[in-house]
Amino acid sequence: MSTPAQVAANQKNASHSTGPRTPEGKAASSQNAMKSGVTSAKAVLPFESQNEYNAMYDAFMAQFAPANFIERVIVEDIANAFWRIRRVKAAQISYMTEKLGPYVIPNPLLATAEIMLSKEMRLLHKYEASYRREYESAWRKLQAIQKERRLKEQQQSEARPAAQKTPTTPPLQNEPNFPTAPAADDPATADLLARLDAIMASGL
């Protein structure tokens, strides 16, 4: 058991510890924090394929067709959550394969069940469930935002003036050119009207 003097000395030494100071030390500390890679905030880990991630990311973008910055951010969240789900599943398979080993097991199903009930596998299942909730939450959020955007676009389209939607009737081809009726103040017309009035007045 440590003496009171040793405890005091340890506490004093701990108070002077500020963690890694050099760039190399900070980089090593960062790698220690992501040793397993399961909880890493980075999308692609050093041992994973950037090209494979890019292909998956492009597929999500093509599938959801985001129309603005907010929608693109949500699609990226969906892609990252899906990528991490795949990572956890790969970690589960790797862990079980390592534990089962190359030996002949009398009852492989029972051995598999024991491994799945282990603390490590339970923790991996917890990570998988968390990433799956992130994936489904982002998907529902994207669907709601895109539905609202499309509704606004439809309302704006329907609010346009009817004149811009109705096509104008083209003029008739080869329409007959009727002569213009003479004006009422034409001398000949006035004389003709006067003579007609006279005939009507005489009763003929």
Cα–Cα distance measured from residue 30 to residue 14, given in angstroms and rounded to the nearest whole number: 20
The tokens for 76 are 């990226």
pLDDT digits (tens, 9 = 90+) for 6-52: 545 555 554 554 545 665 554 444 444 334 456 556 789 998 999 99
Angle, alpha carbons 60-144-66 (nearest 5°): 35
Q: What is the pLDDT of residue 116?
A: 85
pLDDT: which is higher, 187 or 139:
139
The tokens for 161 are 């003036």
pLDDT: which is higher, 140 or 37:
140
Q: What is the pLDDT of residue 118?
A: 87
The domains of the chain are located at: 45-158
Q: Is the pTM of this model over 0.95?
A: no
Specify whether the CB–CB gap between 40 and 34 falls below 8 A.
yes
When pLDDT is averaged across residues 106-125 and rounded to a whole number, the result is 86
Terminal Cα distance for the chain, rounded: 148
Sign of CA dihedral 128, 130, 136, 141: negative
111: CB partners within 8 A, 6+ apart = 100, 105
